[in-house]
Structure 1
Amino acid sequence: MSAQEPIEFDPGVVGDLDDASVRGDSSSLRESTTSITSSIYEYRTIHGRSYQSSKTTEYWAPTDNRHLEGNDVAHQYTLMLMNNNLFAAPLKDPKKILDVGTGTGIWAIDIADQFPDAEVIGTDISAVQPSWVPSNCAFQIDDAQLDWTFKKDHFDFIHIRNLFGGIDDWPKLYKQAFAHLKPGGWIESMEIDIQTRSENPRVQNDPNHVFHKWCQLFWAAGEKTGRSFKIARDGQMQKYISEAGFVDVHHQWWKVPIGGWAQNPLLKQVGQYNGLYIDLSLDGFAVFPVGQILGWTLEEVQELVNSMRKEFADPKSLPYYNLHLVYARKPESA
């Protein structure tokens, strides 16, 4: 797929991009945070903290309340990018739905509300889901990397999202999804390319910028653990899904701004949500991969995180990352 058009920036936020002495309004990057927080957490906040982990997988991201809240914010901006749709696949009255790596369960709960006649199952390695759920939604503690125990040819739709850095064998994951989908069923997989890019050439073309350093550290951590952070790059999702046997493979992707610097009203609001998501999650992202896996001291990790926060607060940084979605169908003859 060809590159998308650059995201136009809002001069009122960024100022004059060519004049370093002209500062934009950095406070605009945080505008509406209060209203965003209150609207999305009004009925979705998960109280308490949970650090449960699987006996089979040492997952890199925390499961504390702050990080989980960030995931729910990410769900909101994803809905906005997808025109308030929970999926892109052409579903027709699905009866069995599986959400792999359900996290807080927010997507599973929403899809259960949308299809009240469907049975929705969300699986995860940690019990961080709420107890108040629709009657047709259930959660199970399960590691998707192990052999699945569901019936073969069972599900109409399998949804996978934001498992980057947590899967040691992506081809196996997609093959298991293929085996457990009914003929004609659909898979949908969405992952973030964690490379922070910039619409400002000065930042994008600087090889020593912290944006470049950040993603390279995570890629190195993934190589060390065997659980890649690169699944959304170089067409890997499409490749592995096709090799698993799926047909009608479709790929969509979006530029997701970080902060409210975009000129487009929708992207500005998406960026505000995404800025809140990053603000809630940035510390938690780095502690385990960079600190524990790569061996950095806590002080070094904090310095790295502070450098990222400083750049995100600079209106001229124009940061964004790419979000990739692939959906495909299991053949009727399979």
Structure 2
Amino acid sequence: MADPETQLTIDTDETDSAFGDETASDTTSLKSAILNYKYRNGRRYHAYKEGSYWGPNDEAQADQLDIFHHINLLILDGELNLAPIGKNPQRVLDVGTGTGIWAIDFADKHPSAEVLGTDLSPTQPSMIPPNLKFEIDDCTETWLYKPSTFDFIHVRSLYGCVSDWPKFYKEALDHLKPGGWIEQVEMSVVPKSDDGTVAPGHIFEQWGQISLELGDRFGKSLRTVDESKKGIEDAGFVNVVEHRWKLPIGGWTKDQKLKEVGLYNRIHWEQGIEGWCLYLLTHVMGWSVEEVQVYLAKMREALKDRGLHAHQEVSLVYGQRPPAQA
């Protein structure tokens, strides 16, 4: 995979009777808040902690997340992680699990591990490996697990989701066992080109600039691809390693592996762009739905343009909680 420095060639019982009817009522209210989704402009969004995440949780966006999972498998030659976690991890946390596809694959690959996937939305499948469970949780709140619980914490695509990354990384550090690992994969929201085909003023350049501004106004950075390494280091992790790749947007490269990645990535963008921007543009920028659709039409036309040699960067960063002193 191309380095970014290299130019690309062309429990089932939810209540406890000991607490009486009040707790049962509270539980019912909480379940209702989780399951009663919100619908805006034809898209479905989470109800639990409504408005804290900008992305839809409907089938269209689930497809986008699963496509990105496949792209990651292509990048990593079929591996689910690069952190040197060993062959027998015992307890694993997948933060922001989304459709749960990474957690399912990891649980299948490591049957001795207890895998937990958390998210704001209960959109994961019910048929899952026996060593996997999903929970509704907000990773930006104080974590309620026991300290030093996990061998491995996996994070992917939390760009625009966290307002206080130092707090997040501190929680991760505290809840890893000494010697445990965190790994984070993030993608850039800024399409670029090495040959100038993404020219100043191009719709792709506009997309990048507007997206970064949206994250800033929302209070949750969309620059995570460039910020995660320093954040992990500053939190106190050691043995921090960063890998970066250029993902073509479209099948324009000569390299056959990159061509395949690029073809999937173009589908990924086509599937994702409305969900990536609709909530933020209408609620943060005040655009009308009609203005958003005109903007998206320009993006879709550009995605079809074979003369554009655009790419985006992806970073994978892993780091280790310092091992316990002998």
TM-score by length of structure 2 reads: 0.86
Structure 2 Cα separation of the partners of residues 218 and 54 of structure 1: 24
* SS of equivalent residue, structure 1 residue 80: helix
Equivalent residues of 1:57, 1:143 under 8 A apart: no
Instruction: After TM superposition, give the deviation of residue 274 of structure 1 in Å.
Output: 1.0
Q: Which runs of 4+ in 1 moved over 3 A?
A: none
* Alignment correspondent of 1:80: 74
Q: Does 1:270 align with 2:231?
A: no
Question: Is it true that 1:226 corresponds to 2:227 in the alignment?
Answer: no
Q: Which of 43, 46, 50 is the matching residue for 1:52?
A: 46
Query: 2:203 matched to which residue of 1?
Result: 210
CA contact (8 A) 1:200 1:316 kept: no
Aligned to 1:31: none
Q: Percent identity?
A: 40
Cα distance change on mapping 1:130 and 1:165 into 2, 3 Å: same
**Residue 65, structure 1, aligned to residue 56, structure 2:** no
With a CA cutoff of 8 Å and minimum separation of 6, indicate the structure with the bigger relative contact order: 1
Q: Tell me, in whole angstroms, the C-alpha distance in 1 between the residues paired with 2:273 and 2:4.
A: 27
Match of 2:7 in 1: 6
Q: Once the two structures are superposed, what CA deviation does each residue of 1:257-313 show, in whole Å capped at 9, x if it has no partner? A: 111111111111111111111111111212111122111111111111111111111
Tell me how far apart the structure 2 counterparts of residues 246 and 148 of structure 1 sit (CA, whole Å). 18
Name the residue aligned to 1:301: 292
Distance 1:53 1:177 in 2: 25
Alignment-derived partner of residue 112 in structure 2: 117
Which residue is equivalent to 1:90?
Answer: 84
Alignment partners' CA distance in 1, 2:128 and 2:204: 39
- 8 Å contact kept, 1:108–1:121: yes
Kept after mapping to 2: 8 A contact 1:222/1:229: yes
CA gap of 1:134–1:195, structure 2 versus 1, over 3 A, is: same
Runs of at least 5 residues in structure 1 that lack an aligned partner in the other structure: 10-48
In the TM superposition, residue 71 of structure 1 has moved relative to its aligned partner by 0.6
Residue 131 of structure 1 and its aligned partner are, at CA, apart by 0.4
CA contact (8 A) 1:50 1:128 kept: no
* Equivalent AA in structure 1 for residue 46 of structure 2: Q
TM-score by length of 1: 0.84
1:317 maps to 2:304: no
CA contact (8 A) 1:121 1:140 kept: yes
Cross-structure match for 2:23: none
In 2, Cα distance between equivalents of 1:53 and 1:213: 31
The worse-fitting range, judged by mean Cα deviation, of 64-73 and 284-293 is 284-293
Measured against aligned partners, the alpha-carbon deviations of 1:224-275 in whole angstroms (never above 9, x if no partner) come to 1211111112xx2111111111000000011001111111111111111111
Assess, with a 3 A threshold, how the Cα gap between structure 1 residues 219 and 97 changes in structure 2: closer, same or farther. same
* Count of residue correspondences: 290
* Preserved CA contact (<8 Å) 1:221 1:294: yes
The alignment status of 1:281 with 2:282, answered yes or no, reads no
CA distance, structure 2, for counterparts of residue 112 and residue 87 of structure 1: 13
How far apart are the structure 2 equivalents of 1:56 and 1:178? 27
Structure 2 unaligned spans of 5+: 11-42
Q: Any conservation in 1 of the 2:4–2:313 contact (CA below 8 Å)?
A: no
